[in-house]
Structure 1
Amino acid sequence: MDRQFHFISGLPRSGSTLLSAILSQNPRFHAGMSGPIGGAFNNLLGELSGRNEYSVFISDEQRRRMLKGLFDNYYGPEYNAQVVFDTNRAWCTKMRHLKELFPQGKIIACVRHVSWIIDSIEQLVRKNAFQPSSIFNYVPGGTVYSRAEGLANGEGMVGYAYNALKEAFYGDETSNLMLLRYETLTSDPKRAIAAVYDFIGEPAFQHDFENISYQADEFDLRAGTPGLHTVRKKVAVRERTSLLPPDVFRRFENDAFWLDPTLNPRQVRVV
């Protein structure tokens, strides 16, 4: 099947699962949570590099075909969709690769205030107090401070994604990049999804924002983090008080660079 591929990336706990659940209402689309393609892509790219003595027999054109084949073969005939959205936080580090492999492909990066991302993860940890999470390698110790530090460092769940986002945002392949704010998606889903359709060049579809369905309970349970990919039935803003100590919350509250037009030299579309 001749498919169009697009990509969902960006920050964790910022609406990527909700976005996928909404898009999946369109029978022409397939979208889901983060899958294995991103990791397989990196591994194959490494195996095709000079560290393999047989790399002298591999041309760049062969590399392109093999990397593109990952998508074509993974999304085989059992995926009955004309448009596929693959989700992975690593895609923001692969803008040049994706542009060459899928010239018409778009990358939608979901973003959210980092303080609230850290808070959202901390909320999950406390809610599942008797199940150590894979987010922290199933280690049950630590404090809110050590957990925030671990999440925010360059190799952490949030820090890696944040640095990858900035790499994409300030790189030279931004024509295929759009940032979608969690706050927009939850407060005005109709406008948010209309912007996505406009960005990817697809005809409008009537979505039901009061009847969203998405299940990944088995995956979340195995990851020791029930609720990690839970999507509520109705899209809505839910106000609550942060669980973070004030100093932890303040540490990240100015990290939303996408809100400042002066920090957007390439005029990346931010919705």
Structure 2
Amino acid sequence: MPAFHFISGLPRSGSTLLSALLRQNPRFHASMSGPVADLISCLLQEMSARNEYSMFIDDTQRQRVLRGVFEQFYGPDHPAEVIFDTNRSWCARLSLLQTLLPRAKVIACVRDMPWVIDSVERLIQRNALSPSSIFNYQAGSTVYSRADAIANGDGLVGYAYNALKEAFFGPHAAQLMLLQYETLVSDPQRALAAVYDFIAEPAYAHDFDNVEFEADEFDRRAGTPGLHAVRRKVTHQPRDTVLPPDVFQRFTQDAFWRNPEINKHRVRVI
């Protein structure tokens, strides 16, 4: 069976770029967010007390069933030796991952929160003719209502942010590494070296000038062309924000991972 690791963290923070780089290694499989986490959630619910037949299912059986999702989804003949599954909810599942796959690690991509909000808003404004699945394909909202929607606890950003804090401050934080978007795009060599060290895999010579990733059809169906686009060359490109100053300022104090005084589990932050 291949080794399993996970990519999680905040949206618009480099997870697609990280996957595009990792998949250059022929030993690795990595892609955009997939359905495995949702399959696990559905099975957990159906094997819980809400189902009258749950009395016939013990924890050993639950564990076998859930491990089987990983093993069978990717298949026993999958050519990769190391599989990275991507989903924002993995940060809220560290206890489960510790039970099912105790050697697995989670790389959480993070980014200054105002720029996460900015990146979503930039996508929406760029695709003015295509209402996005991010906002249930609704049109006519404002930048303020959009920021509120994605930042609340059930929103695209708010849920991921809360899951990240749960992982960072929780009892299984040793499984977690935070990879800052700013590091990934400005010093990709250092970023990838840290990932390889964290998962205890031998280094690989990545090509940071020829990065490829294709998800145009998925993005089009989601009403958000460019959602998973990556530049061919990894580079940091400073820009002005498209957010009003008060919206930008609202999120400027949210990068808790930059405060070493509260990093009680000494989570790696790269």
> TM-score higher than 0.5 here?
yes
Query: 2: distance between equivalents of 1:126 and 1:138?
Result: 14
**Retained in 2: the 8 A contact 1:220–1:227?**
yes
User: Do residues 63 (structure 1) and 62 (structure 2) align?
Assistant: yes
Q: Alpha-carbon deviations, 1:134-168, whole Å to 9, x = none?
A: 00000011100000000100000000000000000
User: Do residues 233 (structure 1) and 232 (structure 2) align?
Assistant: yes
Counterpart residue type for residue 173 of structure 1: H
Aligned to 2:253: 254
Counterparts of 1:33-182 in structure 2, within 5 Å, are: 33-77=32-76, 79-182=78-181
**Retained in 2: the 8 A contact 1:212–1:232?**
yes
**TM-score for both structures, normalised by structure 2:** 0.99
Query: 1: distance between equivalents of 2:90 and 2:144?
Result: 29
Aligned to 2:6: 7
User: What SS is found at the alignment partner of 1:94?
Assistant: helix
State the 1:78 CA deviation.
6.2
Q: How many residues align?
A: 270
**TM-score for both structures, normalised by structure 1:** 0.99
What is the RMSD computed on CA atoms of the aligned residues? 0.7
State the 1:79 CA deviation.
3.4
**Retained in 2: the 8 A contact 1:9–1:108?**
yes
Q: Alpha-carbon deviations, 1:54-102, whole Å to 9, x = none?
A: 0000010100110111111110156320100000001011101101111
**Retained in 2: the 8 A contact 1:30–1:79?**
no
Counterpart residue type for residue 216 of structure 1: A
Counterpart residue type for residue 195 of structure 1: A
Please list every run of 5 or more consecutive structure 1 residues that lacks an aligned counterpart in the other structure.
none
Q: Alpha-carbon deviations, 1:107-149, whole Å to 9, x = none?
A: 0000001100000000000000000000000001110000000
Counterpart residue type for residue 238 of structure 1: Q
Q: Alpha-carbon deviations, 1:197-229, whole Å to 9, x = none?
A: 000000000000000000000000000000000
Query: 2: distance between equivalents of 1:54 and 1:4?
Result: 33
Aligned to 1:224: 223
Query: 2: distance between equivalents of 1:261 and 1:85?
Result: 28
Aligned to 1:31: 30
Query: 1: distance between equivalents of 2:92 and 2:47?
Result: 18
State the 1:265 CA deviation.
1.0
State the 1:174 CA deviation.
0.8
Identity of aligned residues (%): 63
Query: 2: distance between equivalents of 1:259 and 1:162?
Result: 14
Query: 1: distance between equivalents of 2:76 and 2:127?
Result: 38
Query: 1: distance between equivalents of 2:189 and 2:140?
Result: 42
Query: 1: distance between equivalents of 2:246 and 2:7?
Result: 32
Q: Alpha-carbon deviations, 1:3-26, whole Å to 9, x = none?
A: 100000000000000000000000
**Retained in 2: the 8 A contact 1:133–1:224?**
yes
Please list every run of 5 or more consecutive structure 2 residues that lacks an aligned counterpart in the other structure.
none
User: Do residues 269 (structure 1) and 246 (structure 2) align?
Assistant: no
